[in-house]
Each structure stands twice: as structure tokens, then as C-alpha cells.
Amino acid sequence: MRRFVFIFVLILLLASIQPVMADATDPMFEAVACPFEFPADLDVTCGELTVPENRLQPTDSHITLPFAVIHSPNPNPRPDPIIYTSSGGPGLGAFGAWRHLAYNFEFLATHDIILLEQRGTRWSEPYLDCPDLNMAMFENLTRVEPREEEMAHEVQAALSCRDGLAVKGIDLNAYTTFNSVADLEDLRVMLGIAQWNFVGASYAARIGLTYARLRPDSLRSMVLDSVYDPSVNFIEARVPSFANVLEQLFAACAGDADCSQAYPNLKDHFYEVLARANDHPIAVNINHPRTDDPVTLQLTGDDLALGVFNALRDARLLPYLPYIIEEIHAGNVRVITPLAQNGFASMFSAPLGMYYAVECAEEYPFNDMEYQRSIAQGYAGLKNFLPTPSDPYICKAWGSHPVEASFREPTLGEPPALILGGEYDAVTPAAISQQTASRLRNAVYVNAPGLSHAVMDVDACARQMASAFIESPAAFSSTMCQPGTGKLKFITKNDVWSTQIVYWAATKIHPAAVIAIPASAAILTLLGLVIGLKKRASISFIAFTSFLTIFLAGVMYPIMSTDSILLGFGLPSTTIWVLVMALIGSAVFSALTYWFRLRSKYTLPTYAQVRREEI
């Protein structure tokens, strides 16, 4: 009966919303100042959407959501714009992705892009952040306490945040996917748009699927990447999914001649590292992601497993993972520093109030945690693994009202959909994205080899596919290009000159020092060469300066062409040959010219000699 009432209310609320100007494409709202300044080359109009805070339990409380319309430069844009409301999470809003959507996709060539900041996220009001909880999670990484005490520390911080938000009059039960979908529908009606095209990845894909289930007529098409399908019990599947992707990685290394030769025991060494670190935590020095002060992490095996899980999400790091695992196994724990520094960079920007408002209402009530733990016991080294280990404890205490079970029903909608999945995605496995696509009547699934979570973030072909699909779903060809990297080219110790000098300069001095120091030295050296030639300096001086310039240029090239996080592991091994050859060449040539100067009268006069002659 309860389920029937929920569905009836849902139909009543959504059916009452009808497009007021089905053929209109111009924004029908009062423009307001944007939350931040967009660049001058984009034509952007901002507005605000005021909606009920809780649609299932209506009160007088309303919230305000900012939105932005990035206008296409095309004088005749298509009437069906792109709608984007979340960058995932839950908790990451739309506005943070404006640059990516405007410049890395081809959407603006023919479509406007509309960004609606999801309720509870950065630029909406209220913003459900919990900075003290973020800090508690980080502090647990700097000490080693019994697991129960660490979890209790985070639960206490979570409940303190929850109570603080409640004191402000915020109804945390209102910040769910269903309410966010209703916000989208309100905006569509207000703007007089008949249909639009939904784009989203990860949790945002859950919003898209829910929208397609409740209001399929509002969507002309969808592009969903790394799908967080509401009908899947992701928490129960976390450990098996992670373990399966690790097995894929180990198998790929075993199938690569260089990787298998360098690391024949990769899998065994990985689990040995986890076991050793659980017995004796590893001390790692980083700069605090918020204060930049030096801080020492105490990382257990469980922490390292989580670090590898997060590293799997980064396409840049996938080829380095065997190298990183083996270096830690061999005792070189310095390779953890760039991983940790990069991994924690965005830790304090996640609004955990919004995250738990969604997860504790939509995901955890529908997962059997006892079953999850029993499954995890079968995986050595991963029995305590969850992306956020305290989630079961926090959700148990958070007190959210679970959403109705109908929310978890599979979407069998009509809107044409392009579904993308990454081969090494341990967050939302490719098999799940493919399964979601198989249930949709008009869906195309595309797998991206060699990539992991959020394929469109890193892959140009996937972005081209998204634009082409929205332009014409009927004419779309999944063979228009090949997303992904194909077979991974793994990095081994032979490919890396293990030095952290460059990374140290970037983190301890300033990121610009990575290029500024050798660049300045090269410029000064080149200037010395020019002056030397003009002033008729000795051949040895000119020779030495010439080779020093080449040497510094050789240093700069690999630095400038290597991603900053990868510099933390060292420079490409080819760099050492540039340095060695330049040094040897400089030394040999300088020695020869000095010898030639002693033996021959054909030596350029020095600057002092020229001055004496002039005087």
C-alpha cells in the first residue's frame, strides 16, 4: 500500500508539470549575475530556480538553485539543448564542469548547454558540506587506532554535521535523486523546452536513468558514462568488483612481455604489501591538502588498498600501477607520496552532507551489510575494503528515511541512450553499464579498453561519440572512432629514472619551479654563449656553454612533456641518456679545445686580450 501511495504521489506531482512553451528555445526567466565570471568568449546567461525543498512531504520551505545557459554561437541552435546537473559524487554539482563541457565537447556547435546546479552542491543554497567530517577522515590516516575507534571518530563528526544542518532548518530527507529529477523538470518547463538531451557520468547517470523512468517524454536522448544504476546493489558488489579489476590488471601485466619479465609475481607481491602494511603501517610524508603544512600519514594495508582503488580511476596512473606496487614491495615507499598528495587534493571539496543524504537513503538501506561482509571475507587483503569505510556506520546512525523500493526498479525507458563503460572501472564496472544498456530499448553500449571510470573525462573519441549521438541518435555509428587506449603499455623500472628532485622542486618550492629553474638556467647559458661569441671568448668557453645549453634543453623537454603527478615517480629513463651524453660531450669537447689551445696558435683571443688590443 505504501508503495502504491508513493507512486500515486509521484505521478500526481510530475504529471501536473506540462511544458508551457513547447517550441520556445529562448530562456524565459529573469537573468541574474552568475555565481562566478565566465570567460568573455562564452555567451552565458544565468538564472535562479526556486523549488520546494521536499516534494514528498511539502512544507513552506523552498530552496534556490542557480543555473546557467551557455549559448551556442550558432545563429540557429537546435531546440533541444544539453542539460547537465551533476558531476557525480553524490555531491559534485554542475558548475564545476562548465569548462570541460564548453571546450572539450562539440556540443556548442549546434546546441546550447544548460547547467543546473544540483540541490545541496557547491553553488546551490543550502550547500550541504561537512568540513569537520572531511577533517576527521583525514586525521584517521595520520594515526593508527583500533578500527572501531577510527569509525567512531568519523561517526561522531558526521552526526555533529547532520545536527548542525538540521539546526539551520535543512530537511536532509529532501536531498535525494527523485527531488533532483523534479528540479530538472521544473527548469525544463520554466524555460519552455519541449525536450532536451541529458549528459552525465557516475552518480549523474543515476539521475538520468531516474529521469528517463519518470519522465521519458522530456528526454530526446541521453549520454550516460560509467553508470551508477539505482537497481544494482553496489555496496554488496564493491569487493568483488575491485578484485575483478585487479585480476584484469594482473592478467594484462602477465600478457605484456616487458611487464611480465620485470614483475612475474605482481599479484602475490600486491597482497604481501597489504599484509605487511596492516602489521606495520607505512609512514608517508605529504603536505596537508588544506593547510600545506608537512604531515605524516600512517598507512595500513587497508589504506593502501583504498589508494590503489582510487588510482585505478585515474587513466594516467593505470600503466604505472605494477611499477608502484613492486616499488613499495621492494621498500621504496617514496612512490606513495605523489599518489597520496594527488589523491587528497580534492578531499576537502566533497560535500559529505549531500553525499550521505543521498547514499544513506538510496543505497545502504537496500544492501545487506552482513552479506557484504561475508562476501568480503573471501578476498584476501580486501575484507575491510569500501571506498568510504565508515559509510555503513555513518548511515546506520544518520537516520535517513529510505526511499521507496520503487526507486530501485530498473529503467526500461524509450529515450535513445549512448552508454559508455571503461575496461578497468572498479567503481561502476563496465559489465553493469552494459547490463543497463541491454535493458533500455534504444541504447548503444560502447566499451573503452584501457580506461576506467568516467571515460568522457579523458577520452577524445568518447566525447566525439557523445556529440555525434546527440546530433543524430538514429545515424550514430559506434565504429566512428575507437575510444580508450587499447592494450596498456605498462611502465617498468627500466622506463623510469627514479629521482624525486623535480617533484620536490614542484611541491616544496613552487610548481612553476619545475620548468622555471632549468628554463632560466638555459636562457642564461644561451645568453652567455651569445656574449661569448660576440666578445670572441675562448673556444673552450663557447664549447662548454653550447653543450650546457643542450644539456638544460634536454632536461626541460621530459619535464615539460611529463604529467606533474608522474614526475613524483621519476623522470623517463630516456632523460638520463640526454644528461649523460650532454655531460660527456661537454667534458670531452672542452678538454679537446683546451688541449688544442695549448698546442695551436689558432685560438680565439680571450675577451681580456681583445680589450688590451683595443686600448
Q: Rg of the Cα trace of the chain?
A: 29
Distance CA 78, CA 116 (A): 19
Spatial contact of 483 and 457, defined as CB atoms under 8 Å apart:
no
Question: The domain that contains 208 carries what CATH number?
Answer: 3.40.50.1820
Q: Which residue has the higher pLDDT, 304 or 571?
A: 304
Instruction: Please list, in sequence order, all residues whose beta carbon lies within 8 angstroms of the beta carbon of residue 14, skipping any fewer than 6 positions away.
Output: 182, 185, 214, 215
392 domain residue, yes or no: no
Q: How far is CA 521 from the centre of its chain?
A: 35
Question: Once rounded to an integer, what is the mean pLDDT over residues 163-188?
Answer: 96
* 57 and 86 share one domain: yes
pLDDT attached to residue 462 = 97
524 domain residue, yes or no: yes
- Show the cell assigned to 382: 580486501
* 80 and 222 share one domain: yes
165 domain residue, yes or no: no
Domains identified in the chain, total number: 2
- Is 133's pLDDT higher than 70? yes
* 445 and 532 share one domain: no
Q: Which residue has the higher pLDDT, 174 or 555?
A: 174
72 domain residue, yes or no: yes
Cis, peptide link before residue 90, omega less than 30° from 0: yes
Q: For the chain, percent helix, then strand, then coil, each to nearest 5?
A: 55, 15, 35
* 464 and 600 share one domain: no
463 domain residue, yes or no: yes
97 pLDDT tier (thresholds 50, 70, 90): very high
pTM of the full structure: 0.85
* 107 and 207 share one domain: yes
* 70 and 215 share one domain: yes
350 pLDDT tier (thresholds 50, 70, 90): confident
560 pLDDT tier (thresholds 50, 70, 90): low
- Show the cell assigned to 404: 521507496
* 124 and 179 share one domain: yes
Q: Which of 441, 475, 509 is the last residue of a domain?
A: 475
CA trace torsion 363, 364, 365, 368 (10° rounding) = 120
**Full domain range(s) for residue 449:** 2-29+45-128+170-231+409-475
Q: What is the pLDDT of residues 260-308, one digit of tens each?
A: 999 999 999 999 999 999 999 999 988 888 888 889 999 999 999 999 9
262 domain residue, yes or no: no
Work out the mean pLDDT of the chain and round it to a whole number.
85
Spatial contact of 415 and 217, defined as CB atoms under 8 Å apart:
no
* 93 and 182 share one domain: yes
> Angle at which helices 177-191 and 2-15 pack, to 10 degrees?
20
* 595 and 545 share one domain: yes
* 14 and 76 share one domain: yes
Q: What is the pLDDT of residues 372-394, one digit of tens each?
A: 999 999 998 999 999 989 999 99
* 507 and 561 share one domain: yes
105 domain residue, yes or no: yes
Strand blocks (E) in 133-261: 196-202, 219-227
56 pLDDT tier (thresholds 50, 70, 90): confident
Distance CA 68, CA 606 (A): 67
* 518 and 602 share one domain: yes
434 domain residue, yes or no: yes
434 pLDDT tier (thresholds 50, 70, 90): very high
- Is 507's pLDDT higher than 60? no
Question: Once rounded to an integer, what is the mean pLDDT over residues 395-424?
Answer: 94
Alpha helices by DSSP H, 423-573: 430-439, 460-471, 501-504, 513-534, 539-560
Alpha helices by DSSP H, 300-350: 301-311, 321-329, 336-343
